[in-house]
Amino acid sequence: MNRPIVVGVDGSPSSYEALAWAADDAARRGVVLRIVHVRAPWADEHPLTAASDHQTLTELLAAAAVQARHRPSAEKVATALAIGVVTERLRHESQSADTRRLRGCPTAAS
């Protein structure tokens, strides 16, 4: 089963560090890297900023995809702009992700 490696980005330096690690891991495994940004559902309550927020977030995802593709061997990259509560939506995204640990790869527990 070729499940993707999923990483969330929010524009912060730590999310770009996670992106680099995930891109390398996806390349090692030969699977798709799925880059996700979760937009809060209440952003639609502000129609004057919702359109510009969508454009900004689309650009954020595009820039993240470019950065991922600059990693060695990272060629299979997909992006997704999701709407929802961040923790719940990322948990949902992770259900379809490859979570096998490779020897020598860091984990949250190590």
In a domain, 110, yes or no: no
In a domain, 67, yes or no: yes
Residue 66 lies in a domain: yes
**Element holding 37 (H helix, E strand):** strand 33-39
Total domains present in the chain = 1
Residues in the chain: 110
What confidence category does residue 3 fall into, taking pLDDT thresholds of 50, 70 and 90? confident
Structural domain including 67 reads 5-94
**Residue 76 is assigned to a structural domain of this protein:** yes
In a domain, 104, yes or no: no
pLDDT tens for residues 24-64? 988 888 889 999 998 877 655 555 445 557 788 889 999 99
**Is 108 or 18 the better-scoring residue by pLDDT?**
18
Buried-exposed string 40-57: b where 16+ CB fall within 10 A, e elsewhere: eeeeeeeeeeeeeeeeeb
pTM: 0.77
- Smallest CA-to-CA distance from 64 within 76, 74, 54, 79 is with 79
In this prediction, residue 108 carries a pLDDT of: 40
Kindly report the CATH number assigned to the domain that includes residue 38. Answer: 3.40.50.620
Is 108 contained in some domain?
no
- Domain contains 28: yes
Q: Is pLDDT of 110 > 90?
A: no
